Structure 1
Amino acid sequence: MRNTFGLVLLCALGQSAIAQDEPRTLPFLGEEARKRGYELPEPFGVGLVYYKLNRDIEVSDVRVGRNGTVPSSVSQYADLGSTSDVDNINVKVDVWLLPFLNVYGIVGKIWNKSDTNIDVTLPPLLPNGPTRRFQTTVPTSIEGTVKGLGVTLAGGYKSFFGALDVNWAKADIGFDERLKAVVSSARAGWHGTVDGRPLRVWVNATYWDTFAVAKGHVADPDGGTLNFEVEQGPKYPKTYGVGFQYSPRKWFDLAVDTGTDGHGGWYVAIVPVIRF
């Protein structure tokens, strides 16, 4: 999901001052920062966030019930695992409340394609008989909406900066309840200029707390309904990566961020933003 989900524009603390327009109300304390020679970004931003995420999903338990009965675990018979291929596009609106504090909201669409591997082992039909086992792969494709809020703390010293970001999001992808996610990241890097405009590069570490219980119901082929609960989450919730942000104009920023979980999972984020 993502993700959405935590890439926010970083304050250009520590840069040489560039001519500023008349003072703005936001960010608060912005005038104090300018007096010390810091260039601040425009306080408001509207942009797009595109995420591509591919990773392994671990299914820790599956519970099934019939016609409203309390679901019971079937995990003793089935071993499940999944791979997830996610595309996510969000509209993001952000504002710098303080020179070091940014808050933002996102709303968008999510598309998830998964291949679920099912390995079922059943008891023998006859005493002392062989166990029964079969394996299959079930492809699924679902889509839905995502909404979220986030906050970023950023600061710097000379040519170096650091930032902490936390994003809370909910995704509605057709289950009985919305899936919740908290994505936290830390960045550290260098900032300078190219053709007199800000450039930042960084390394990052992210923790994807997208563990959730997917609850739903489907029609029972024998009549009635089957209700299910699936406990699932990323098999490797930590990713490590690199990224950059360039501001060719004072009113426009472009950021690209990419990373890997070290086990074949990866993501890439592309974030163009107009600032005013």
Structure 2
Amino acid sequence: MKIKILLSLAALFAPFTFAQQSFFPIWGEEAEKLGYTLPKPYGFSISYMDMSNPITVNSIDLTGHPVLEALDIDANHADFRGSNITLRGDVWVFPFMNVYGIIGYTQGTSKAKINSLSCDASSVPGLGNKALCLLLDAAGDELPDNAMFELDMDGGTYGVGTTLAGGVGNWFALVDMNYTYTSIAAIDGNIKTFVAAPRVGHRWEYDGGRELRVFVGAMYQNVQQELSGDLSSLNLPPEVLGLVDKLSPDAGFEVSQSADENWNGVVGFQYAFNRDWDILMEAGFGQRETLFFALGRRF
């Protein structure tokens, strides 16, 4: 997948020829007459983000056998660590409004500590099932302190977004909003993310079209993860997984997760080498930590 992305990047950043006069941005001439310097209307960029995000495990349901369905796994907190690489194409539709589409690939792992594991024998039918339930309950009492379940969450990501921007003098403000969907490759699951990020900053213009923008702001993320698959994909402790295999080799799971904290702070800068090329670097801090780098080309 990464090789395909890099090949696509090579194609995207090859020389393009656009007409000097573009339909976009609408009302661009009027804005320039008022003294505003507008960016070129079309852009492509490649970006990389590294992230660490605490997650709340809303529910863990096991399927495939009455005993598994009676099993209660207490693992309400997880840590997600991962990265993604994306390609973005955008256009300034109006001087104050940019719209874009993104496609990329996400790699990450969610790890949750298992605090306890119990099985209510009174809720399952049959003496054999009750005995197995008691065995699982006993195994839960013997879990090591570092007992975890892990989920590999690699998959393709795509989405759409918009940026609304404005300014007075060399001061600017903007809000960026996007919605992305990641389809997990190893298991049956997806990650749905809505992001809204307001920022304010100051810009400095130099000769040759060079420009520096420094900004601070915040980022709101609403992350919903709905995951299901083969129970072995959870990487449960061996003492539990062995009993589960005896119950049902085809046992499955359903996990629902969401972000612990929706907001975090951000600080960053963007530097334009000229009107064609720029770089962007941004760091997020708080419970959710991020590092973001992007290289952009405008036409």
> Aligned AA for 1:44?
Y
What corresponds to 2:42 in structure 1?
A: 44
What corresponds to 1:215 in structure 2?
A: 228
Give the structure with the larger strand fraction. Answer: 1
How many residue pairs end up in the alignment? 248
What TM-score does the superposition give when structure 2 sets the normalisation length? 0.75
What corresponds to 2:141 in structure 1?
A: 132
Alignment of 1:239 with 2:264, yes or no, is: yes
What TM-score does the superposition give when structure 1 sets the normalisation length? 0.81
- Cα distance in 2 for partners of 1:226, 1:123 equals 16
- Cα distance in 2 for partners of 1:23, 1:123 equals 70
- Cα distance in 1 for partners of 2:71, 2:198 equals 39
Task: Quote how far apart the aligned CAs of 1:55 are.
Answer: 1.9
Please say if residues 71 and 118 of structure 2, whose CA atoms lie closer than 8 Å, have aligned partners that are also in contact. Answer: no
Please say if residues 121 and 133 of structure 1, whose CA atoms lie closer than 8 Å, have aligned partners that are also in contact. Answer: no
Structure 2: tracts of 5 or more residues without a match: 1-18, 121-133, 233-243
Q: How does 1:105-116 map to 2 (within 5 A)?
A: 105-116=101-112
* Deviations 1:84-104 (CA, angstroms, capped at 9, x unpaired): 111100011011000000000
What corresponds to 1:274 in structure 2?
A: 297
User: For 2:38, what is the secondary structure of its paired residue?
Assistant: coil
Q: How does 1:1-276 map to 2 (within 5 A)?
A: 23-66=21-64, 74-75=71-72, 77-122=73-118, 132=141, 134=143, 135=145, 136-174=147-185, 175-195=187-207, 197-218=210-231, 221-222=245-246, 223=248, 225-261=250-286, 263=287, 265-276=288-299
Task: Quote how far apart the aligned CAs of 1:145 are.
Answer: 0.6
- Cα distance in 2 for partners of 1:72, 1:194 equals 66
> Aligned AA for 1:50?
Y
Structure 1: tracts of 5 or more residues without a match: 1-20
Q: Which runs of 4+ in 1 moved over 4 A?
A: 71-75, 123-126
* Deviations 1:11-46 (CA, angstroms, capped at 9, x unpaired): xxxxxxxxxx95432111000011111111010101
User: For 1:172, what is the secondary structure of its paired residue?
Assistant: strand
> Structure 1's 65 and 38: CA in aligned 2 closer, same or farther, altered over 3 A?
same
> Structure 1's 188 and 178: CA in aligned 2 closer, same or farther, altered over 3 A?
same
Segment drifting more, 226-235 vs 49-58? 226-235
